[in-house]
Amino acid sequence: MSLETTNPINSSYWPSLQNVMKCNATLMQLAFNDVRIALDYARVLSNVRSTLGFDDAVINYTRDQFDALFETLDELSVHLQNGLPENKNNMTLSFWD
């Protein structure tokens, strides 16, 4: 086998491999965001002195988790839709189809 036939950049699998790497990077970003938000929540929760403060901490934690999850999943769905072989025309795909 020559080097030209094994060159991954010229391979038809290279775009798929790039897409998998982008998806993995997005999942790692989600994990880092989860850890950051959890550590912030632990810091805030350790300073809570009343039930109202506890309610505020839980609400803010839930809001932060939801916002981070929504942004990351939106980015992940874009990577997944662009990587599907049947999506050559950049159509928006749905899991419900």
Most confident option among 2-16, 17-31, 76-90: 17-31
Predicted confidence (pLDDT) per residue in 14-50, tens digit = 777 777 888 888 888 888 988 998 899 999 989 999 9
Q: Per-residue pLDDT for 94 more than 90?
A: no
Question: Crossing angle of helices 14-46/51-83, nearest 10°?
Answer: 180
Q: How far apart are CA 63 and CA 54, in angstroms?
A: 14
82 vs 97: which has the higher pLDDT:
82
